[in-house]
Amino acid sequence: MALALVLGLAGCGGNGGDGGAASPGAATAAPGTASTPASPQATPTPSPTRTYPLSTAPRTIPAVREHVAARGPGWRPGAGSGVVVARGSGALADEARLLARELGIAHRGEVPARAGDVELALAGAGTGAPESYTLTTRGGRVRIAGPDEAGVFYGTRTVKQALRSGGVVPEGVIRDRPDRPQRGLMVDIARKHFTAAWLEARVREMADLKLNQLGLHFSDDQAFRIASDSHPEVVSRPHLTKAEVRRIVALAASLHITVIPEIDSPGHLGAVLAAHPSLRLRNAQGTVARGAIDIARPESARIVDDLLREYAELFPGRYFHVGADEYRALMASDPEASYPALAAEARRRYGPEGRVQDLATAWLNDRAKVVRAAGKQPKAWNDGFFRGGVVAADKGVEVEYWTGREIGARPPVEYLSEGRKVVNVNDRYLYYVLGEPNQFTYPTGREIYASWTPLVLRGTQAVPSRYSGQILGGRFAVWCDLADAQTQDQVAAGIRTPLRALAQKVWDSREPVLSWAEFSKLAGRL
């Protein structure tokens, strides 16, 4: 019976069973018993030892970039398992506590690792790319090391997903890093109110997918959705309180996600202008240009800058999105004829060659200066950057490329050839527009997974690979043009698979190893 038990155990190792011939070992007598000389009929029976097949990479979303196989049982949490932090890596305490809670094992703090443990360690600056990690599984334990806290955190996401998808963290070494530094989701919370709880759920979902940016477009023609102290008169109901925003931002920061605020101007300011109607832009016939502020008036800049400064304090992250898209004056076929007051101001400021686009470009540059003075990296939509003109757009503003539908549309290569840095928000693949107006259709995860990469900035065509280093990443965008077309729960369900496909392609833009059917099945399991 003892021999049968040993044989049975030999076939139930983690990560694939026995997988090979057992290595013979010498039989020994049990302690405390007499040894009897063996006879030809009682030859000692070899005792099998456990062997393992070469491990395979864990199934995760996004997939790990490199896995060095090894033979061994892998790791799964046991009764004595814990999460510990290597000496000198105390900054990882929050990551350790979170993983321990998720796995239902002990958190033992900054102590030496022992058999059965997961150890987190900061490897030090210069030991790898930002957000990278090395995960080593051997000797019945796991060690996750990276040059920064974010990388180690992503290693813990790999552990969590490996256990969920396969029941074990496979033996061997994983070396992993993101292909792009900016990976995220943007939600239009202006046209449609989303609760703080819903946004927090998206933050947790994003963290497990190794996404690191959440954009909040909270001001538009329909509403202004975050409380304001400087201009309470512009705030709509319902809206997020500042306490709720701080809670969302704190949760995101703990999961290595930056929340990016967006106050879009000089267009999309209808909610602000409802409280300040004298600042509305009017055309030659005196008709109000929907959502557009009069950029010739100093008072217009003052109110927008008040709001930019206020929310730069509320959102401590690195970035601020200043919009710049779809300014009604520049959507006219002849801006100078349609808006003669703006044309006159442009000539006054910039000479006889000055045009309305120069006023708009100067507006963008001035708003960029305001947020940069607050310590932020400014971002703006691509249709706020114009060809030619007396005034050139600030080269330091990151271009968020979404469309080629505007009048005088510029192909993506024009922005890149100017040396600009670009984030991919391609409206063909990455725009989830509620109600599907204006020929938009809900994007599918399958399309993103099969056809999109960060180089596919417009339509379905990729830009030349020589520009790859200027493309900082990609963001999936939820726009609520027809706000009642879906509930917030339906939105969460609708973006679920596309968001996972995006996560895969911004982490590793190479051809995926898994087929779409395999990926989809894995997404359901995770």
Question: How many whole angstroms separate alpha carbon 447 and alpha carbon 433?
Answer: 16
What are the angstrom distances between the C-alpha of 487 and each of 333, 440, 467, 491, 500?
37, 18, 39, 6, 21
The Cα angle at residue 462 between residues 459 and 463, in degrees rounded to 5: 115
Residue type, 332: A
Residues in the chain: 526
Contact 356, 343 (CB under 8 A): yes
Helix (H, G, I), strand (E, B) or coil at 368: helix
Distance, CA of 115 to CA of 139 (rounded, Å): 7
Cα angle vertex 400, ends 182, 339, to 5°?
160
Q: Which of 326, 345, 398, 400 is catalytic?
A: 326
Q: What CA–CA distance (Å, rounded) separates 301 from 171?
A: 59
CA distance 317 to 263: 15
Using CA atoms, how far apart are residues 238 and 190, in angstroms rounded to an integer? Answer: 10
Whether residue 66 lies in the annotated active site: no
How far, in Å, CA of 420 to CA of 453, rounded? 19
Give me 200's structure tokens.
């927090």
Q: Is the dihedral of CA 275, 247, 374, 214 positive or negative?
A: negative
Question: Is residue 292 within 8 Å of 266, Cβ to Cβ?
Answer: yes
Radius of gyration of the chain, Cα coordinates, nearest whole angstrom: 29
- Phi first, then psi, for residue 96 (nearest 5°) are -65, -45
The closest alpha carbon to 509, from 419, 459, 448, belongs to 448
Q: In 59-210, which ranges are E strands?
A: 66-69, 82-85, 106-109, 118-122, 133-138, 141-146, 172-176, 182-188
For residue 373, CA distances in Å to 143, 196, 324, 407 come to: 41, 29, 19, 32
Strands of 29-140, DSSP E: 66-69, 82-85, 106-109, 118-122, 133-138
CB 122 within 8 A of CB 64: no
| Structure tokens given for 484 | 């009642």
The CA-atom distances, in angstroms, between 10 and each of 13, 62, 339 are 7, 33, 82
3-state secondary structure 194-248: CCHHHHHHHHHHHHHCCCCEEEEEEECCCCECECCCCCHHHCCCCCECHHHHHHH
**Known catalytic residues?**
326
